[in-house]
Structure 1
Amino acid sequence: MPSPVEIPYRSFISFDRHSNTSVYLQISNAFISAIRRNILPANTKLLGTRALAALLGTHRNTMVSVYDELASQGWIVIKPNQGAFISATIPQTTDGPLLDISYPKETGFTFRKSSLLDSPYERGHYDYIFNDGIPDVRLTQIDDLARIYSATLKRKSNRRKMDYYHQDGSEYFKEQLQGYLRLSRGLQISASNMLITRSVEMSLFIIAEILLQPGDIVVVGTPSYFSANMIFQKNGARILPIPVDDEGIDVCALAEVCQRHTVRMVYITPQQHYPTTVTLSAQRRMLLLQLAQQQRFAIVEDDHDYDFHYERQPMLPLATLDTHGLVIYVGSFGKSLVPGFRTGFIVAPENIMLEMRKLLGIIDRQGDVLIEQALGEMIEEGVIHRHLKKSLTIYRERRDQMTRIVQHQFGEHINMAKPQGGLACWLAFKTPINLMQLSRDAGKEQLFIPRNILYQHKQLTAIRLGFGHLSGVEMENSLDILKMLIERQLKTQS
């Protein structure tokens, strides 16, 4: 219950000193009305008589009389040494039942609804949970995060950055992130080429708002990232899928699409294609850039898992090869940290960045300057590098364990190539099964398989299975359950 000090007594209690009805009865009736209208719910603690008298400008004896009257009628209960409380059982009156003034469940006007934005994400309380490849928050260096953020919050020099006119994020963080991206990704950029956002999805939303008009064509690989497709379609874009194979998106198929249509944007995840985890080959990258130059479409390069690579240095982003301003580079920073410490960013030429800043200034005027300041210090102190290096060792071990188990126990049922990076594997079934039924059966065994990691149509039955969040024991137990359910379903089908 809220503190009695927070209750707005003066909003529902008023009295007229010149009325023929005594003041204490006027106040008593106002209390009764507020209780009947559920403004004062059962068991709410009231202010003491002295404090309430001072608040309303009456004598304390008047409030004592009010509480005595309410208690005698059963509206309140006075507990010695504790105070006065609204009674849990409201007296029956001739005025009818309590008035329902709860907040309305529906609007009194019509509005446009969008099934496109129905969330594909599900949550559940199970012993084991699969996802599409998220980091393990248990590996986060909480002590480092707490130390740096606490120091940032206390530093007096940062207080002036917390006003409502401080837009476009922390310049210090952008400077540090700029250096980090230059060293890790080869991006020769300045702060004027960067926009700090809350997430990759927010970055894609801003890009879609700036670039897309209803009817514009956006080409994506199939299968593709569902959230990106939702964002583009929300802006009225028409999604055209093209095939994805072991070398990434089929650029020849894209060229054929360009002969028939005017393409506005191509959305790609070249480092580890979402969801299949394949890498776009060097040859196709060059062909894609050449085609973009010829057809003048924008390439949105989503590099969501760049920091997670295991075998070798990953290919540099397409943005490092772009000399014609055709690539908009999107990524996230701090993905290996707890969610509250993660940010998104956009890298693009200055002219479009000016428009993006206008939009960001409306939808996220303040940003989170203190988090960005802390992240900047984590880069400068080397905390991010040390944490990522340590966690990559663990994620590599988990990837190898996942690969061994799947190839050994599922080899006769599933094709899976060891991913070179990222935090998920792509499991393609040799014999189709009902994945939705598999998910339902798994729930009965305390294994949660959300719909957003399931991919099924006539030509494909596959699961994008994250391994980053699973310890060794969790992985073995959950995969044992999955194997049992797959074999049970295949036996039923035969």
Structure 2
Amino acid sequence: MTSPAEIPFKSFIQIDRKAEIPVFIQIANQLIYAIQRNLLLPATKLPGTRILSDLLHVHRNTITAVYNELYAQGWVEIKPNQGTFVSAELPQHENQQKTVLTNHYPSQTGFPFRRSNLLDNPFEITRCDYVLNDGVPDVRLTQVDDIARFYSANMRRSSNRKKMGYYNQDGSEYFKSQLAHYLNLSRGLPISTNNLLITRSSEMSLFIISEILLSAEDTVVVGELSYFSANMIFQKSGAAIKTVPVDHEGIDTYALKALCEKQKIRMVYVTPHHHYPTTVSLSVQRRMELLQLANQYGFVIVEDDYDYDFRYDKQPLLPLATADTGGMVIYVGSFGKSLLPGFRTGFIVAPDNLMREMRKYLGIIDRQGDILMEQALGEMIEDGVIHRHLKKSLKIYRERRELMTDLLTENLGEYLQFEKPAGGLAFWLTWKKPMNLLKLSQQCAKSNLFIPKTILYQTHHLTGMRLGFGSMNDSEMKASTGILKMACKEFNL
């Protein structure tokens, strides 16, 4: 602490004026105990006698007596013209170790609590120079100056001062208005601000949806391969996960219908624009079939459109939510994914009656919101900065996609197969021959390439990997694919 007066002495010094022990001895003993518990560390400066006497409501001469007693026992040292300090070398008793007691915080609770294996952190940390992921943007491409300009302007704006002083889980109405307009123009969603909920991430969006819509023993249907975080959230709500096959047209709606005929389905989770992890798009025919099934069997469709903005070759298919006339689709997305992580937001689009309930839950888990960031993002939409930045980024990501296509074909074409994705920031790779992907990742780690378990998919019938390219520059892609090639050779594939 910068000043000895800031040390909370009254929290560990209690005076009993009815006790037979003199007050100065009481204070001295409690200061010694505080030193032993490391509440007062060696070389800590203690307050002057006048300050401490006023703080403890005793006579100044009492504190003088306290310091003299501590000095006599070796607990403090008095430096002329500087003050009184806890001794750097604390006293020892005869035939004993130092009397300093280590003040350990308890390592375990003294009470039982419910544990969740489902929510164990699946992400790993590495020191490798090269790291693969499931397809995230490159933060090095972010126009930091633009973000700083808009954010600092909102910080300085006097009209925003009042907004900093109160909780606002509903967020910035200005940002929601701009975002609603943006989603209308870019994704064909004819919504108002009443249909929007701003969250911190897609995962928070899915959590709120699950809390409201799912109960124990409900059934949620996902693709046979699906997003692991979403599955964790659904299972945490007590829901049972059922899977349906995924092929080159997306999830198999025929298999979904057969499942609906056997049991009650509460929710179907889909990533139709680019299925996670295989990157295939749900065909137009299957989109219509999925909506028909939802209306027929009454299940909720949660449409996670996690990478809509990243498209290269053709016009994207509009979200399922644009064709939903029965109010069966909840649309989940993210905004600002090409920006720094702290400036990205999640959002939910849903009918107004469900949105009112969602705002209650958001008010509990994120009451304060981030009004200034939302104001800045709204201005970046209105000013066109978001569009310009995304346009520049897409040019680079398109070039990286082409280079990764060439590198995979040249270095790994004999080992695996893939199709160049029409959008998104990842490839879906499948090996021509079965192999142990965990051992492959361990082999790559020896050569400074980290492959996390979360992008590996291994079953009796499939050996696959979701390989993100967006976050790597040219040299990183060349090095990573080169290491992967050498590792495949080690296995004599």
Interval of TM-score (by shorter of Structure 1 and Structure 2): over 0.9
Q: 1:284-299 alignment to 2 at 5 Å?
A: 284-299=286-301
Compared CA separation, residues 422 and 3, structure 1 to 2 (3 A): farther
Give 1:46-65 correspondences, 5 Å limit.
Answer: 46-58=46-58, 63=63
> 2:422 is matched with which residue?
420
Equivalent residue runs for 1:391-410 within 5 Å: 391-410=393-412
User: Cα distance, 1:88 vs. partner?
Assistant: 4.6
User: What secondary structure does 1:388 align onto?
Assistant: helix
Q: What CA distance in whole angstroms lies between the structure 1 residues aligned with 2:420 and 2:72?
A: 77
Moved more, 42-51 or 467-476: 42-51
SS in 2 for 1:330: strand
Residue 313, structure 1, aligned to residue 325, structure 2: no
The residue that corresponds to 2:105 in the other structure is 103
Match of 1:336 in 2: 338
Give distance in 1, aligned partners of 2:344 and 2:83: 47
Would you say how many aligned residue pairs link Structure 1 and Structure 2?
491
* Deviates further, 160-169 or 113-122: 160-169
Supply the distance in 1 between the matched residues of 2:302 and 2:453 (Cα, whole angstroms): 26
Counterpart residue type for residue 480 of structure 1: G
Partner of 2:217: 215
Match of 1:198 among 178, 184, 200: 200
The secondary structure found in structure 1 opposite 2:491 is: helix
Q: For residues 83 and 133 of structure 2, what CA distance do their matches in structure 1 show?
A: 51
Code of the residue aligned with 1:368 in structure 2: it is D
* Long gaps (5+) in structure 2: none
CA change 1:42–1:253 in 2 (3 A) is: farther
1:33-182 matches, within 5 Å, as 33-58=33-58, 63=63, 66-77=66-77, 84-93=84-93, 97-182=99-184
Task: Please report the TM-score for the alignment, with normalisation by the length of structure 1.
Answer: 0.94
Q: Aligned residue for 1:26?
A: 26
My pick for the range that moved more, 23-32 or 329-338, is 23-32
Aligned-residue offset at 1:30: 1.7
Deviation at 1:276, TM superposition (A): 0.8
Q: Is this contact kept in 2: 1:203–1:346, CA < 8 A?
A: yes
Q: 1:18 to 1:469 in 2, by over 3 A?
A: same
Q: d(CA) in 1 for partners of 2:217 and 2:415?
A: 42
The aligned counterpart of 1:457 is 459
Alignment of 1:10 with 2:13, yes or no, is no
Change (3 A) 1:170 1:72: same
Supply the distance in 2 between the matched residues of 1:5 and 1:482 (Cα, whole angstroms): 60
Distance in structure 2 (CA, Å) of the matches to 1:480 and 1:78: 66
SS state of the match for residue 277, structure 2?
A: coil
Give the direction of change, closer, same or farther, for the CA distance of 1:55–1:109 in structure 2 (3 Å limit): same
C-alpha separation in 1, matches of 2:230 and 2:80: 61
2:357 is matched by which residue type in structure 1?
E
Alpha carbons 1:13, 1:31 under 8 Å: kept: yes
Pairing 1:387–2:389 present: yes
Higher deviation after alignment, 352-361 or 180-189: 352-361
- Aligned partner of residue 117 in structure 1, secondary structure: coil
**CA drift at 1:20:** 6.3
Q: Secondary structure at the match of 2:244?
A: strand
Q: CA deviation at 1:162?
A: 2.8
CA contact (8 A) 1:177 1:376 kept: yes
Provide the C-alpha distance between the structure 2 equivalents of 1:43 and 1:284, rounded to a whole number of angstroms: 73
Taking the aligned partners of 2:387 and 2:323, their CA distance within structure 1 comes to: 25
Which amino acid letter does the alignment assign opposite residue 224 of structure 1?
S
Task: Confirm or deny: 8 A CA contact 2:418 2:428 kept in the other structure.
Answer: yes
The answer to whether the aligner puts 1:446 opposite 2:459 as a matched pair is no
Structure 1 runs not aligned, ≥5 long = none
Q: Distance in 2 between matches of 1:178 and 1:358?
A: 21
1:465 is matched by which residue type in structure 2? L
Moved more, 195-204 or 135-144: 135-144
Q: Report how far residue 25 of structure 1 moved.
A: 3.6
Identity across the alignment (%): 63
Partner residue in 2 for 1:241 = 243
Q: 1:242 to 1:56 in 2, by over 3 A?
A: same
The structural deviation recorded for 1:418 is 0.8
Distance 2:252 2:462 in 1: 17
1:333-372 matches, cutoff 5 A? 333-372=335-374
Offset, 1:79: 6.0
Given that 1:433 and 1:490 are in contact with CA atoms closer than 8 Å, whether structure 2 keeps it comes out as no
- Cα deviation, residue 228, structure 1: 0.3
Q: Deviations over 1:374-410 (max 9, x none)?
A: 1111111111111111111111111111111001110
In the TM superposition, what is the alpha-carbon distance from 1:487 to its structure 2 partner?
A: 1.2
TM-score (norm 2): 0.94
Measure, in 1, the Cα distance between the counterparts of 2:363 and 2:343.
Answer: 21
1:87 Cα deviation after fit: 3.9
Structure 1 CA distance for aligned equivalents of residues 208 and 219 of structure 2: 17
Amino acid at match of 1:175: S
Structure 1 stretch 13-22 or stretch 354-363: which is displaced more?
13-22
Q: Deviations over 1:460-481 (max 9, x none)?
A: 1111111111111111112211
Read off the aligned partner of 1:348 and give its amino acid letter.
Answer: A
Please give the root-mean-square deviation of Cα atoms over the aligned residues, in Å. Answer: 2.2
Kindly indicate whether the alpha-carbon contact (under 8 Å) linking 1:192 and 1:353 is maintained by their aligned counterparts in 2: yes
Native 8 Å contact 1:334 1:342 kept in 2: yes
Tell me how far 1:243 sits from its aligned partner: 0.8
Q: Deviations over 1:59-111 (max 9, x none)?
A: 65654554454344333455677655444543224798544543211111111
1:313 to partner: Cα distance = 2.0
Q: Distance in 1 between matches of 2:71 and 2:405?
A: 71
Distance 2:153 2:249 in 1: 46
SS at match of 1:115: coil
